[in-house]
Amino acid sequence: MSVSEALAEVQKQLSAAGVPSPDVDARLLLRHLLGWSHTHLTLHGAEPLEPGAQAVLHEMTRRRVRREPLQLIVGTVAFRQLDLLVRPGVFVPRPETEVLAGEAIARTPPAGIVVEPCTGTGAVACAIASEVANSTVIASDVSAAAVALARENATRAGVTVQVMQGDLLEAVPQQWRGLVDVLVANPPYVAEDEMADVEPEVLADPRAALVAGPAGHEVTDRLLAQAAGWLRPGGWLLLETAETRAAETARRALEGGLVEVTVGVDLTGRDRMVIARRPSPGS
């Protein structure tokens, strides 16, 4: 079997299974297996695929047909300028969250202080640490597995991120209260009754990283209540949320005393972020 023939067969199987992007996923599986670039795969499809590689590809394809996330199959995910490790039991970062990271980076001054609760793999924290000079980045997660992976990803990315275990901001050193330039989070924001409608790939993520509670606002409400105590005057709060909850989250941010509240869109133009600021004296 040639590489091109194997590619066509994988595409066929993924398409039949209802995988949303069978052509893209098939190419990524083969590239991961062979260590080839996109161009090399295009130009060298006539080369034979050895039986051992065929067996590995078959297993990888079987996992993707079962709708296991592609990132968990290959073990890594691209996030902005980084290549990060992913593992079962830790929330897999999505491309949409790169927009959240970018908005946080744009608001972080050189040598700024950033706190990211609910860090998961550490993707946002590591991106900020790699793109903002001399920044102090503190990340936290309630999950021990997430904390361990975020620390590993910081080392892999060659950046300094202080990763601590705890619920939201409880593990962040008190010395940073009132001094934080940017508080950014992609917290749980799915309501319990919405889990029946999510894509199969989402079910591979830990439920605790997805479900906030009956209403979906439970975790963002807690962050909104805590934000002013941690942000410096004029500091920014950025939250990812569900499209159906963005406007209500923005309203709650205003009611909580934050200002310059806006709703930001993701890569597909959906309302997925709430951006707000702690008032400065006299504002």
- pLDDT, one tens digit per residue, over 221-252 is 999 999 999 999 999 999 999 999 999 999 99
**Do the beta carbons of residue 220 and residue 187 sit within 8 Å?**
yes
147-172 burial code (b ≥16 CB/10 A, e <16): bebbbbbbebbebebbbbeeebbebb
Tokens 């592609």 correspond to 70
Q: Output the CA–CA distances (angstroms, integers) from residue 166 to 77, 117, 118, 171, in the order listed.
A: 25, 9, 9, 5
Q: Provide the domain limits for residue 172.
A: 88-277
Summarize pLDDT for 68-124 with one digit per residue, the tens.
Answer: 999 999 999 999 999 999 999 999 999 889 999 999 999 999 999 999 999 999 999
Summarize pLDDT for 19-60 with one digit per residue, the tens.
Answer: 989 999 999 999 999 999 999 999 999 999 999 999 999 999
Residue 96 lies in a domain: yes
pLDDT at residue 282 above 70? no
- Quick one: tokens of 88? 């079962």
Residue 82 lies in a domain: no
Residue 217 and residue 138 share a domain:
yes
**Do the beta carbons of residue 158 and residue 150 sit within 8 Å?**
no
- Quick one: tokens of 7? 């590619």
Residue 192 and residue 116 share a domain:
yes
Residue 125 and residue 235 share a domain:
yes
Residue 216 and residue 177 share a domain:
yes
Residue 108 and residue 61 share a domain:
no
Residue 283 lies in a domain: no
Query: Based on the structure, what is the number of domains in the chain?
Result: 2
Residue 32 lies in a domain: yes
pLDDT at residue 283 above 80? no
Write down the pTM of the prediction.
Answer: 0.90
**Do the beta carbons of residue 178 and residue 229 sit within 8 Å?**
yes
For residue 257, what is the domain's CATH number?
A: 3.40.50.150
